[in-house]
Structure 1
């Protein structure tokens, strides 16, 4: 559906994005992740033809450029802040961009905005404006939706609702590119992850593949953890005690099992110590920095 090849973006003489290439298929929910200043919003704006670039961007085999936006007729977006006319009601804002009254009414109900949709948008809270912005992005049955920090200002119930709506649209074939600092929420919706660092794409994989990255640590529980700590420490094996067991390095497992067996300390549990999604992202970025410094 969307193909980006060798994307380079400059602000003046400063290069913001360097040789970025990726593709998005129908129904995919792609998370665009990276530290502040990595270039996430810049890429999103460029996909909408809002910045000049070199390389190529095509949507349904039609080119997108700073001067050619024809392909964007089937693309919806929420970038940074919702583009809302403050003195119009929420419903009038939606009606400006859609002639389908049925779709407008459906989105208002779907996003639970009926109680305030007739009020002027200037009176809306941050969360209300955000929901209206998401509704604008979903108007006209888009094939591809770009969302920049969509969970901004939303309470827990609304966040769950938005997550459900994204899944619903994706199931019907709509593709999403979503950037968010709330990684725990992004993890619950995305099917693929693109990690961006200092203008470079350093990872572009399905979420399932990313989650399967080998754990270098294991958590073990024994019949006598205190004795196990003394035995392993005496053999120069690093042990990190926690409330749920002992954390040890993967490469020491064979030696650990021999020591414990020899001293009649039995294993009750031995499982990979799988880090959280956030920690995995931090590890990937750290590895990238270390490799760059090594060069």
Structure 2
């Protein structure tokens, strides 16, 4: 669907995006994540042909360039803030961009905007404006949608609603590239992760694989932790004693059970130590700081 290959973006001769490459497959929901200033919005603007760049960007085989936006005819986007006209109603704003009025009706209903869609948009709250911007991005059955901080200003109910809509469109084949600092919400909708920092990609992989790779330690509980530690040490197996349980490297798990059983120790618990998405991201960023390329 979308291929970004070795793109370089420079401002005043300073490279802010450094040979970035990644793909977004059909129906995938890719989370573009990273710290403030990492280059997320710059990448999104570049894909939309709004910034000069080196390298290549293709959408369904068509090249994106600054002077030729033909490849973007089936692309929807919400970047930084909704592009709405304040003295028009929400419905009028949608009608400006739509090719099919039924599409407007469907989005107004699915995003639960009926109560205010015919009010002037200058009267909208931040959350209302955000939903209108998302609706504009989803008009005309796009094949690829870019959303920059789509959860900004949304309450819990609206956030859940937007998540459901994104999944619905993705199930229908629409691809998404989404940036958000609310990682706990992003985790619930994305299929893949592109982690960027200082204009460089640190990670590009499915979210399940990223999180699974971080589950490298297990919690071990026995009826005699002191004796267990001594036995593990004697067999060259490192453990971290947290008073009520031991932390063990996942690669040594298969060796542990025969050892403790042979010495009459009861195994009470052996389970992976779970880590959430936010912790995974922080760990990767910290690791790269300690061990840069």
Give the equivalent residue in structure 2 for 1:14.
14
TM score, norm. by length of structure 2: 0.90
Query: Post-superposition shift, 1:276?
Result: 1.2
**Distance in 2 between the 1:188 and 1:237 partners?**
33
Q: Deviations over 1:50-75 (max 9, x none)?
A: 11100111112211111111111110
Give the equivalent residue in structure 1 for 2:284.
284
Pick from 214, 225, 229: which aligns with 1:228?
Answer: 225
Query: Post-superposition shift, 1:45?
Result: 0.5
Structure 2 matches for 1:88-99, cutoff 5 A?
88-99=88-99
CA contact (8 A) 2:214 2:280 kept: no
Query: Post-superposition shift, 1:257?
Result: 5.4
Structure 2 matches for 1:261-280, cutoff 5 A?
261=261, 264-280=264-280
**Distance in 2 between the 1:230 and 1:129 partners?**
62
Q: Deviations over 1:162-217 (max 9, x none)?
A: 11111111111110000111112111111111111111112111223223215332
Give the equivalent residue in structure 2 for 1:151.
151
Give the equivalent residue in structure 1 for 2:39.
39
Q: Deviations over 1:273-295 (max 9, x none)?
A: 12111111112222222221xx6
SS of match in other structure, 2:73:
helix
1:101 aligns with 2:64: no
Give the equivalent residue in structure 2 for 1:24.
24
Structure 2 matches for 1:74-85, cutoff 5 A?
74-85=74-85
Structure 2 matches for 1:146-225, cutoff 5 A?
146-213=146-213, 215-222=215-222, 224=223
Give 5+ residue unaligned stretches, structure 2.
Answer: none
Assess, with a 3 A threshold, how the Cα gap between structure 1 residues 266 and 60 changes in structure 2: closer, same or farther. same
TM score, norm. by length of structure 1: 0.90
Q: Deviations over 1:243-271 (max 9, x none)?
A: xx543444675786578557644111101
Give 5+ residue unaligned stretches, structure 1.
Answer: none
CA contact (8 A) 1:228 1:260 kept: no
Assess, with a 3 A threshold, how the Cα gap between structure 1 residues 216 and 209 changes in structure 2: closer, same or farther. closer
**Distance in 2 between the 1:100 and 1:202 partners?**
41
CA RMSD of aligned residues (A): 2.2
CA contact (8 A) 1:33 1:193 kept: yes
Structure 2 matches for 1:106-117, cutoff 5 A?
106-117=106-117
CA contact (8 A) 1:9 1:18 kept: yes
SS of match in other structure, 1:212:
helix
Assess, with a 3 A threshold, how the Cα gap between structure 1 residues 275 and 55 changes in structure 2: closer, same or farther. same
Give the equivalent residue in structure 1 for 2:241.
239
